[in-house]
Amino acid sequence: MQYLNNRARSHLSSPAECELETLGRGGGWVNQAYSGSTPSLPQAVSSVYTPQSLFHSSMDSMCSLSIPGSSNPYPPTEAKVSERPAQIKKSTGCCSCLSKVIKGIWGTTMTEDTSENRELYVKTTLRELFVYIVFLVDICLLTYGMTSSSTYYYTKVMTDLFVNTAGDSGVTFQSIGSMADFWMYAQGPLLNGLYWTTWYNNQSLDYGSQSFIYYENMLLGVPRMRQIKVKKNSCKVHKDFENMILDCFDVYNDKKEEEEVFGLINGTAWQYHPEKSIKGSSHWGLLTTYSGAGYYQDLGKTRQESEEFLETLKTNLWLDRGTRAVFIDFSAYNANINLFCVIRLVVEFPATGGAIPSYQIRTVKLIRYITTWDYFIIGCEMVFCVFILYYIVEEALELRIHKLSYFNSIWNILDVVVILLALVAIVFNVFRTLKVDNLLGKLLEQPDIYADFEFLAFWQTQYNNMNAVNLFFAWIKIFKYISFNKTMTQLSSTLARCAADILGFAVMFFIVFFAYAQLGYLLFGTEVESFSTFNKCIFTQFRIILGDFDYDGIERANRVLGPIYFFTYVFFVFFVLLNMFLAIINDTYSEVKEELASQTDEVQITDIIKQSYMKTFMKLKLKKERISDVQKALRSGSEELEFKDFRETLKEMGHADHEISAAFAKFDRDGNNILDKDEQERMKQELEEKRDALNAELNNLGKNMGSSNKPSENADGGNNSTVTQEEFQMLVRQVVQLECAVTTIMSKTDAVTAKLELKSGNKGSMGKGRNDDERSTSDGNVLVNVDKSLKERLPSWSLNGPEGSTAANRLYPNIERLKSFENNNSTQP
């Protein structure tokens, strides 16, 4: 006897169990009145003790209750078994196997025909949801594996050191306001932060000339200082000032960029270098976007060398009126947390004079695979690639089936976006790994060169941003798989229905909004920073809606028009337009909620779970009943039980010959068709073990099913949460009555519809006396025939009839009481 998960597998397999499994595959018992779908043909359900059918499968006899022992509309079990090899041979082709595999793996609601089967739609959606949740967990691990809390603290430490630390002169990077302040910062706080070669007690770090910032962060290569200049006389001076103003330097423009040598002439600091030659990259500053070209000076490995370079540049006027921006680039690596910190300090010198400092610190993880967690991430990346391949095939199959109509769904477009972003991420991941290895190799060979990690840091940041957006879309895509629940569809239904109204309202809103934005820019742009550009005006007005505004600054800029602008904007935009927007959404939401409340409930997840519980419960119940039958057969025998007696006893209980023979032959070791005392004991012992295992499972199911099942005594005297046979029969009667009532209503509805169609067809022929009489007579005959056919097709449901056999009395032990009860009800007025 074989066991699986402490569950004893029965050696008897009745047709009832097969039918239950068929019901599970074909959709289970579905309450058609609840699901709201077209009633399907009733499934035939076998009794507990006999494999004979309880209901006929045809529509004409769906309401007649057949007593066990009557004619069986199903072919014998032996015939079904004999037909199976032929069916298996037909499906052994390579094409059929491949189609089954594709259907099983890539079957979705768009590739399966689920329009007529709500339960299949829910099951397919749940399978898709389960696979997608695994994919979502994998992409979350990949995304969060790229960052950590140490990233923030690393960035903060470097910001405090190079941006907020003041030198002996009291100048910090943020306080730079002129070229003189820049040189004081460069020769003070900058050099102090870059070169750490001794401990706080002036003891050497034992790393030679290699600098370790904060004793932990290795300075990679040497820092680089680069400037961008514009040409002399790049702008035109008014003729009234030509004698007083000899030179003119325009605002920065790449077409007006200075390319001539100046100063000492020799050296990279005095010669122009194109962007390609120095492998630079453009920078988006506060004022404009600067190219990656210019004049640059690499500092030294030691503080002393760097001081000499800076003094030379300062003495020979490296910065002049044509300078528009200075960039200071360097990188550090912390091996403790395996993070690179790429720092760029920018000081812009606008044409107005002065200086505008800004900085950019990117803390990224460029070396990916070191720790055990990193190698776990490798596995997640491989799984991610498999998932992307899986979804590419899935979307290709859906696109092949639906053609261009595939793009009518926003969810399909979102699927394509997620896949494209994932493919870009995979390609960049490979490129980044190869590029970092190449760059680190060059840096190890030449430690005195500038380590240009700016390009990699920039694209790593874009890669992280892309993954963040992709993860956001991946989370939003969950709504695609939970839309079968009407509660979950409220958001999408509301937005879809009010989209047209919101679009029309948005036109009106932005007309007013941009009018106020231009008014604010022109009124306050010269004095209030938040209105200094048109883009800032737009965001400032959104902040005013949220309650974040600088009223004092507006009033100082214009004491008359400032308050008028503020109060009219708040009234029209906040009190009027914003509330109209909310009213549109609220009204639409109320309509959607009312419609969903009036709709008939469809098959939900809870219904499928309940059906699975009931199916499992009934299968265990049937196994237990078969074990009881065998135990009764054993108790009826003597010390030696012959096969003939064993067969006759179980035959009366409704079991098939092949099942009885298989069970007997399993314990008949000597093959003499007689079970001796030892063989009977072994059979009893195994049956008891099976029964105990089934009782345990029935108890567990009974607890989960709640109060729907009442506890009852089993044959061994133990308490068991089961459904009694009498309760099962009562449930069967109720189901039959419900099906009869539904069929009667449908038939009467068809008759009324036919009558209405006949009457509507006669309206055009009124006034033709004889024809009208003949037609009315024919109409009456048709209606009489329809009524007769209804009466003939709807047999009355009754328990009166031939009992059939002793199996019927055993299936319905109270059959006489039920018949008398029905007769009494029929005789009452």
Q: Does one domain contain both 480 and 582?
A: no
Chain CA centroid to CA 13, Å: 41
| Structure token digits, residue 578 | 């914003």
Range of weakest confidence among 33-37, 127-131, 411-415: 33-37
Q: For residue 167, what pLDDT is reported?
A: 85
Q: How confident is the model at residue 354 (pLDDT cuts 50, 70, 90)?
A: very high
Domain end, chosen from 464, 486, 508, is at 486
User: Among 289, 296, 338, which Cα is nearest to 313's?
Assistant: 296
Beta carbons of 142 and 467 less than 8 angstroms apart = yes
Q: Does one domain contain both 510 and 475?
A: no
Q: Does one domain contain both 323 and 188?
A: yes
Residue type (1 letter), 15: P
Residue 697 annotated as lining a ligand binding site:
no
pLDDT, one tens digit per residue, over 223-256 is 999 999 999 988 888 888 888 888 899 999 989 9
Return phi, psi of residue 74, to 5°: -95, 150
For residue 414, give every residue at least 6 positions away whose Cβ sits within 8 Å of its Cβ, in sequence order, or none: 473, 476, 477, 480
Q: How many CB atoms neighbour CB 205 within 10 A? A: 13
Q: For residue 496, what pLDDT is reported?
A: 84
Q: Do the domain assignments include residue 329?
A: yes
Residue 72 predicted with pLDDT over 80: no
Distance CA 306, CA 299 (A): 5
Q: Do the domain assignments include residue 697?
A: no
Share of the chain above pLDDT 90, in %: 29
Q: Does one domain contain both 315 and 415?
A: no
| Structure token digits, residue 751 | 């008759």
Residue 501 annotated as lining a ligand binding site:
no
Q: Do the domain assignments include residue 232?
A: yes
427 vs 668, higher pLDDT? 427
User: What are all long-range contacts of 378-386, with beta carbons under 8 Å and residues at least 24 apart?
Assistant: 380/138, 380/141, 380/142, 380/145, 381/142, 381/429, 383/138, 384/135, 384/138, 384/139, 384/142, 384/422, 384/426, 385/426
Task: Give the C-alpha distances (Å, rounded to integers) separating 541 from 520, 568, 583.
Answer: 9, 12, 22
Q: Does one domain contain both 442 and 525?
A: no
Residue 348 annotated as lining a ligand binding site:
no
- Name the burial class of residue 223, with classes exposed (0-12), middle (13-18) and buried (19+) by CB atoms within 10 angstroms of its CB: buried
Q: For residue 675, what pLDDT is reported?
A: 67
If you write DSSP's letter for every residue of 671-708 in order, what string do you get?
Answer: -SSEE-HHHHHHHHHHHHHHHHHHHHHHHHHHHHTGGG
Look up the domain containing 564 and give its range: 493-598
Residue 690 predicted with pLDDT over 50: yes
Q: How confident is the model at residue 636 (pLDDT cuts 50, 70, 90)?
A: low
Query: Coil, strand or helix: which one is 721?
Result: strand
Residue 6 predicted with pLDDT over 50: no
Q: Does one domain contain both 354 and 395?
A: no
Task: Give the C-alpha distances (Å, rounded to integers) separating 126 from 112, 247, 471.
Answer: 14, 74, 21
Q: For residue 370, what pLDDT is reported?
A: 84
Q: Where are the alpha helices (DSSP H) in 107-148?
A: 118-144
Beta carbons of 821 and 733 less than 8 angstroms apart = no
Integer-rounded Cα Rg, in Å, for the chain is 43
Residue 409 predicted with pLDDT over 70: yes
Q: Do the domain assignments include residue 28?
A: no
Query: Coil, strand or helix: which one is 601?
Result: coil
Residue 686 predicted with pLDDT over 80: no
Task: Give the C-alpha distances (Å, rounded to integers) separating 807 from 47, 68, 651, 728.
Answer: 10, 6, 10, 17
Q: Does one domain contain both 469 and 522?
A: no
Chain CA centroid to CA 330, Å: 41
446 vs 346, higher pLDDT? 346
Q: Do the domain assignments include residue 51?
A: no
Residue 15 predicted with pLDDT over 70: no
Torsional sign, CA 484, 489, 495, 500: positive
Q: Does one domain contain both 739 and 592?
A: no
**307-336 residues labelled b (16+ CB within 10 A) or e (exposed):** bebbeebbeeebbeebbbbbbbbbbbbbee
Distance CA 453, CA 220 (A): 9
Residue 94 predicted with pLDDT over 90: no
Q: Do the domain assignments include residue 806?
A: yes
Q: Do the domain assignments include residue 53?
A: no
Beta carbons of 489 and 596 less than 8 angstroms apart = yes
pLDDT, one tens digit per residue, over 184-221 is 999 999 999 999 888 888 888 777 778 899 999 999 98
Q: Does one domain contain both 476 and 512?
A: no
Task: Give the C-alpha distances (Å, rounded to integers) separating 380 from 143, 147, 368, 563.
Answer: 10, 15, 13, 58
DSSP letter assigned to residue 204: B
Residue 468 predicted with pLDDT over 60: yes
| Structure token digits, residue 455 | 């390009």
| Structure token digits, residue 802 | 């031939």
Q: How confident is the model at residue 363 (pLDDT cuts 50, 70, 90)?
A: very high
Q: Does one domain contain both 198 and 129?
A: no
Q: How confident is the model at residue 124 (pLDDT cuts 50, 70, 90)?
A: confident
Residue 452 predicted with pLDDT over 70: yes
DSSP letter assigned to residue 807: H
For residue 347, give every residue at least 6 positions away whose Cβ sits within 8 Å of its Cβ, in sequence order, or none: 176, 182, 325, 326, 355, 356, 357, 358
Domain count, the chain: 4
The CATH number for 581's domain is 1.10.287
pLDDT, one tens digit per residue, over 779-804 is 444 444 444 444 444 444 444 444 34
Domain end, chosen from 422, 455, 486, is at 486
Domain end, chosen from 429, 460, 486, is at 486
Q: How confident is the model at residue 598 (pLDDT cuts 50, 70, 90)?
A: confident
Q: For residue 602, what pLDDT is reported?
A: 55
Chain CA centroid to CA 23, Å: 31
Task: Give the C-alpha distances (Å, rounded to integers) separating 166 from 161, 227, 307.
Answer: 9, 23, 18
CA atoms within a 13 Å half-sphere pointing along the CA-CB vector of 218: 17
pLDDT, one tens digit per residue, over 519-575 is 999 999 988 989 988 999 999 999 998 888 889 989 999 999 999 999 999 999 989
pLDDT, one tens digit per residue, over 426-446 is 888 888 888 888 877 877 778
Q: Does one domain contain both 760 and 822?
A: yes
Distance CA 281, CA 273 (A): 13
DSSP letter assigned to residue 230: B
Distance CA 411, CA 498 (A): 19
Q: What is the mean pLDDT of residues 644-670?
A: 67
Model pTM score: 0.59
Q: Does one domain contain both 153 and 293?
A: yes
Q: For residue 152, what pLDDT is reported?
A: 92
Torsional sign, CA 591, 597, 603, 606: positive
| Structure token digits, residue 229 | 């200049």
Average pLDDT score, the chain: 74
The CATH number for 480's domain is 1.20.120
Q: Do the domain assignments include residue 79?
A: no
pLDDT, one tens digit per residue, over 175-192 is 999 999 999 999 999 999
Chain CA centroid to CA 501, Å: 29
Q: What is the mean pLDDT of residues 377-401?
A: 89
Residue type (1 letter), 223: P
